[in-house]
Amino acid sequence: MDATSLWPAVGVVLLALGTAMLLPSVSPRQASLAPRYSSLDGLRGYLSLAVFLSHSSIWYFYLRSGVWDVPPSTVYTQLGQSSVTLFFMLTGFLFWSKLLNGRLEPIDWTRLYLSRVLRLGPLYLLAAACVIFVAFCRAGFELKEPPSVVVGQVATWLMFTIPGISPVNGFAETVPLAGAVWTLSYEWLFYACLPIGAFCLRASTPLIWLMVSAAAVTALSMGMPEVRMPMLSAFGGGITAASLARIAVVRAMLARGVWGVIAMACLATTLFLLPTAYMLSAVLLLAMAFLIIACGNSLYGILEWPASVTLGEMAYSLYLLHGLVLFVAYRLVFAEGADRFSPVEHWAIVLGLVPLLVLLCFTTFRLIEKPAMDAVPRWHAWLTARFS
């Protein structure tokens, strides 16, 4: 079997779905999601699994070359890049929908940003703590750099790596361990733009929030190492979908079964024929597929399977923690000889990790993510009472 064979990818998805079927049901992620958006819940899980597959493929070549780069496979490259692009579209869709709703009733900006902090923060802090711990562990718990430098590096991780992914205490493998976190800076940049977006839509927006938005966008744009336009255009795909999905005729048409074939054709064309998702043709194809799904097309029920929704619930955990699981497997458990594994042995290990990863992420969702989300009303009430 070749190292870039697609059969392991099929096995990973089936094994993840099978494991998810055995887990207890979880409550809906967002009660505010309208039924016509239910397909998006299932989409999240598949996107996170695709990133896991892409990084699993990269590990095979990284162990032999020492260079962390896209794998020599269009499909495995696109599994990562296209998934990130679709994640950005999903964010753009959900939050632009909130702004469109804001034209009818005021947006509670305090609650919105509090929900973002509690949604992304707790699990991210766990992931960052793991990165920092592994860095010191690999250094034998000795300082390899001046204390002031190490403090600055740790601070960078506590800021969602917005200034860039910084090695901690000379640990050179921060990207293989937690390379997926770079996308969170783009998420925060988009969130910072929301009050300005609401103003452009003529939704009622207090002046203080417009000022905070402008300051935050400026600070983030200057603080990030670079702001790549393909990433921002992905949010635009979600914004466009949010507007079109509100048109009843468009929604009814794209929810029909035949459009599921078109969505799959757009995804397949991107995965198999285009070298990168960070090009206009790829973004347009992905945006078309996303629009169809956002209009309620579940791709013949696949995205609404209970197992798909369960994986979607824990998608954030899958996205953040899979790098840690792969690192532990290849650098600690199978440290000796991992660079000499055959493709079959490499992918057998990946398949063996899938149930463990799903169980880990289900646990972190139940113990960290869900309690934090459930705490939003309580914290919002406290903030309102204290500062109103």
Could you list the mean pLDDT of each consecutive 10-residue stretch along the chain, which spans 388 residues? Answer: 93 97 70 60 95 97 94 96 97 96 93 96 96 93 93 93 91 87 95 97 94 96 88 94 96 94 98 95 97 96 94 96 96 90 96 97 96 95 86
Q: Give 152's Cβ-side CA count (13 Å radius).
A: 9
pTM for the model stands at 0.95
Q: What is the pLDDT of residue 180?
A: 87
Q: What is the pLDDT of residue 38?
A: 77
Q: What is the pLDDT of residue 30?
A: 44
Q: What is the pLDDT of residue 34?
A: 46
Q: What is the pLDDT of residue 386?
A: 85
How many C-beta neighbours within 10 Å does residue 222 have? 8
Q: What is the pLDDT of residue 26?
A: 64
Q: What is the pLDDT of residue 27?
A: 56
